[in-house]
Structure 1
């Protein structure tokens, strides 16, 4: 019998190709089966979405094309995975194939059956070698009272749990014990642990491996993130899909990993904006994690006790698949959900071992010497710490030596020729680099416009702070009499493979006395010897136009301060120094008492008055074009064409405006804000608007449009 499977392939939403393409097959293909099919002149990977025995209406037999090959070595992707992908594509206004195929490892898209069989054979051999040894004795420390209470509440939770734990309160131990309970309850259970950034992976992965490899074998934990090589990503995906990997640790893309036995999802540092993708399908991995846990739980409940995997074999509680969102500074959306009772809030306010949170010291820069990079009292405090064998962390969220190189004779600045931004001065390799398009050039010997030899840097970056600290601390001595050692950690110093792990090892071993870095050092790390944290440029976000800026700043400073005093022996003397020109700002008052609930209540009240999320719902229509006029013409034309659409009265469309960085890589960028009072109203309008957007590409005034994208629930406006 001839079958007519509907197959998803990677086609962008604006291509005009349908979400599902019909092919011909001589055998039945189960939904979720991976196949290779012809598309134009190419042969591509596809996913069977449905299998029909009759040809689709309107398809002539001579037009039909046959399925080229079936990757029968792999089990089909299950229905919950397909539901997750379908929901993500619909909610974030992308094509089904774009989301589904992007969730698979790139290498898998190019494999034939023979190549796949070889990899599966190697996978099975590696799994056999790393088979679990005899169960090891439990060497984990006993949980604290707060940890035990949180674990008990999780056991009976029937909704998402928000683990609101202070920095150093032991949230990771709660994750480990919840994972242990899930794996013990079901021999096929799997756990997904998500972190916001790659640099947080090594430390957390080491703890999970140390806890679970002695009991479950070497292959029990796999990582998934963009820093891995394509073969590594494929091996991790295959291990998760087959069920041989019981724990998957990854960044935001791991939310789409194929995990047939998923029973627990942990989203660490759930407030972090890195969970929101900024290109392609602009999805929020945190929100999809909550939705995925709901899908898995519903499937377990529907399967019943006679199913192969039943709710009875899930962790204790009615959830079936539990999701835990952890943070010391939760996102306001999650905090609001907990306030409404939709999330279960579990508080862990105390640090492990009875350690105290660092004391905040505000340095009023109005009273410091003119031009001082570091206030003299802060410098003296750092010297004292070094002399006691303690470590300091200096936070400046700006890499490079200086943001701008300028000529004071003719006002020339290091403007990027391709972007509406300045090229950053990097002193170590004497380059000017644009951090938006990547354009790099050598530093000129003289001003390109007037020939003035006296061109100078304006502002400060981490390179400059590292250099200045090395000079200012030249007389500081460690307890062994050696000189103070200053190191820097940012995207430049951790670019090479293994460099991040080497720098973290140097810090943990005490080789480094002062670490200068960007926000990548401010969250998630367990630095035991740091007792002083200093923030040098906190004011930059105090008066930003983005309404989320105060939330991000408060979280960054709280998280950075939490790196200090994590060892109870030093917590009593740990401090967080903030250099500011506005010490009276109310944000610092809440920060001084570590009072996140008070800060959240104030921010939520302001947003409610303004109708901002989470009290309102937003989407951005972004347009890239050769000219700013064309980008705005497309956006405003799309707004005008929406006048007669259903549900148009349920939303507010604002006029198009340029982005803050208006031009990147010679492409002009503009955006149009859409607001609605309810999520359903926004989704109904966006779905009706999508065909209009496709038609508006042909408007005469929009000639030169490069691309457009809808960003649902944007994090930056």
Structure 2
């Protein structure tokens, strides 16, 4: 046994400091047990903190008598394996962030808090009765209870409370069923049985791995599947398939082949709103355990899923962006659904892009990675053009469904009824009378964007931000969606004291009220962040939509992606002009993607789809190309513009941002950085500093925001400069009210 004085622990502590700290091993712990990736408790100044052993070495720059002993270890084996440690090192280096904080973010919240990495017990629910016609009739008016009972009946040994929750079944529903003595629950200790042995006992299945037989693929789908499975080693695949082309079925069959080879699959989805239906479809298809990680789960539930994936008892992990850090020892395939989506970019702390990290992780695991989208990002299209990615296209819809026709409706000089043009209202009436569903897309929640004084024109503004307050009717209040400030609706204008205050503009709440009055015979189902805030609200709305009865779906971009509504044959896009003139250089790209995603919800069944876009700018080149359903041509026009301006993907960007109580402090700091760039790197023609200048919304949450852009045609040069500037900033003593952040490859300039 070696002496504890022979080794030094290099520990990553979750602080903003970009350095590691040396400690001696904990007293009384055999140094031979210590490994990188283990959690240790250390005394860090006055605080006790939880760090990660980053490396074990035999020398330190710190004098031996100054070294402290670590306080203790939390387990006898690493919680972070070497491949995740390497991923975190790369991320911390690329995004110029503290390694200690990066490693901490890679852990579930429960492990960051020092809780044991123990699988513990799970609550299982099982049926205590036979689900016959009489019972179905009895529960006819309690649809959610019947749905829960049907789901529980699919698992004779019981189904976990987490799985039921993911399917939209609340604890209240289960409690009500238990009161009727239709179900009971029990605790089961979790055993980490490998997923590929968990299916060996299946006898009544389609196959040991599958519950359902796969669908028959059309030639385009088959070609795409063969391209993904061409080799089990690393190769990125951009799967560009129009909405409704059957990308999910290709994913499912690629995952089936991966599971059959005894390897795990990681599926990244952009938002938690998509996970319940994705999980339901995956669990219906596969017999192996499918787990998920997203912000809608409790800390304990996320830990259970993390452990199941890291100990190979789960074959499939479906997760939002943070899932990219989850250990999966048998990782054999990564799928990034809706790869263009901005939700993959973290907008605070470590500003990483999960799509880019997933590609790096696939390279480390030497496995295929699939980037799926109907409207790929320009970055991915550029990588496909240069041969870094394989580019597979699916241009026709599955099942013989036709692409929707897209019509631009010129509303200049037209009389609008609360924001709706008469031709749209007439078409909606006809569609509903034919027994079909209508989707109305308005990407603005609340009753109205603000409140305006009819006498003096004053608009209700947020006192903390350069933004208008949004008017909400349910419950009645004014709300700033930027800083979350809320206040009562004013009775009089603060400027002229007039009582003539009226809503300005149109939000989903107001549109719901208008449409309910115009179409009293049909339900209006509003789907936005406000209407789905209540637990189980979204699954209940989706269930109602999927009944297929005529109704109006009204919503924001929550409706735009991933959903399959075969009853929708008409889509009306009400405010398409907002993104055409964005101050963000990506604004037009995002607008085009969003419109095409929304349009893709139409005509996914047997009936043809039609899309109407209300616009004051029918001649705008982007809308003209979108109306032809030609995303490739639209993307090519954006490429030409970006190439001319040396903007991503034809160049590289990083943004230094400051937030301070006083405008001049942030500006002064960014001016120092600009001067340093010009002084030390001025001879580099490949690098251009732009700014400093105020952020598009300069004041937010009572603080003033400024930014300095660094633009470069060469990535290594940009990172060399960033390295120098971050080191310079770390050495400055700044006022406490002044904060700075660095965003590498920013996705939003606002």
Provide the TM-score with structure 2 as the length reference: 0.85
Deviations 1:491-518 (A, max 9, x none): 1111122212111111112356001111
CA distance in 2, matches of 1:687, 1:111: 33
> 2:237 touches 2:371 (CA, 8 Å); kept in 1?
yes
What is aligned with 2:680?
A: 645
What is aligned with 1:125?
A: 190
What is aligned with 1:657?
A: 693
Asked if 1:178 corresponds to 2:213, the answer is no
**1:119 deviation in Å?**
6.2
Q: Give the SS at the match of 1:381.
A: helix
CA distance in 1, matches of 2:51, 2:509: 47
What is the 5 A alignment of 1:539-688?
A: 539-567=577-605, 569-570=606-607, 572=608, 574-645=609-680, 649=684, 650-688=686-724
> 1:647 touches 1:681 (CA, 8 Å); kept in 2?
no
Given the alignment, which residue of 407, 410, 416 partners 2:453? 407
Query: What CA RMSD, in Å, does the superposition of the two structures yield over aligned residues?
Result: 2.1
> 2:436 touches 2:549 (CA, 8 Å); kept in 1?
no
Asked if 1:459 corresponds to 2:459, the answer is no
What is aligned with 1:134?
A: 202
> 1:7 touches 1:23 (CA, 8 Å); kept in 2?
no
CA distance in 1, matches of 2:382, 2:346: 22
> 2:19 touches 2:99 (CA, 8 Å); kept in 1?
no
CA distance in 2, matches of 1:260, 1:153: 24
Change (3 A) 1:496 1:108: same
Deviations 1:252-272 (A, max 9, x none): 111111112111100000011
What is aligned with 1:81?
A: 84
What is aligned with 2:743?
A: 711
Long gaps (5+) in structure 2: 124-186, 207-211
**1:140 deviation in Å?**
2.1
**1:43 deviation in Å?**
3.0
**1:76 deviation in Å?**
4.3
Asked if 1:47 corresponds to 2:47, the answer is no
What is aligned with 2:276?
A: 202
CA distance in 1, matches of 2:60, 2:227: 51
**1:432 deviation in Å?**
0.2
CA distance in 2, matches of 1:714, 1:357: 33
CA distance in 2, matches of 1:704, 1:395: 44
CA distance in 1, matches of 2:15, 2:549: 51
Asked if 1:518 corresponds to 2:519, the answer is no
**1:694 deviation in Å?**
2.4
What is aligned with 2:155?
A: none
What is aligned with 2:541?
A: 503
**1:429 deviation in Å?**
1.3
CA distance in 2, matches of 1:292, 1:128: 25
CA distance in 1, matches of 2:112, 2:377: 36
**1:697 deviation in Å?**
4.7
Q: Give the SS at the match of 2:96.
A: coil
What is aligned with 2:13?
A: 9
CA distance in 1, matches of 2:115, 2:564: 44
Change (3 A) 1:685 1:129: closer
CA distance in 1, matches of 2:727, 2:188: 45
What is aligned with 1:390?
A: 436
**1:75 deviation in Å?**
4.5
> 1:201 touches 1:249 (CA, 8 Å); kept in 2?
yes
What is the 5 A alignment of 1:683-694?
A: 683-694=719-730
> 2:337 touches 2:373 (CA, 8 Å); kept in 1?
yes
> 1:424 touches 1:434 (CA, 8 Å); kept in 2?
yes
What is the 5 A alignment of 1:313-392?
A: 321-369=367-415, 373-392=419-438
What is aligned with 1:493?
A: 531
**1:128 deviation in Å?**
6.6
**1:183 deviation in Å?**
0.7
CA distance in 2, matches of 1:692, 1:659: 23
> 1:506 touches 1:512 (CA, 8 Å); kept in 2?
no
**1:528 deviation in Å?**
1.4
Given the alignment, which residue of 312, 315, 334 partners 1:265? 334
Long gaps (5+) in structure 1: 298-320, 475-482
Q: Give the SS at the match of 1:149.
A: helix
Point out the more displaced range, 154-163 or 164-173: 154-163
**1:414 deviation in Å?**
1.1
CA distance in 2, matches of 1:194, 1:660: 31
**1:147 deviation in Å?**
1.1
Point out the more displaced range, 496-505 or 61-70: 61-70
Deviations 1:263-287 (A, max 9, x none): 1100000011111111111111111
Given the alignment, which residue of 95, 112, 115 partners 1:109? 112
Deviations 1:614-646 (A, max 9, x none): 111000000000012111111111221334436
**1:159 deviation in Å?**
2.2
Q: Give the SS at the match of 2:387.
A: coil
Asked if 1:68 corresponds to 2:72, the answer is yes
Q: Give the SS at the match of 2:190.
A: helix
> 1:645 touches 1:688 (CA, 8 Å); kept in 2?
no
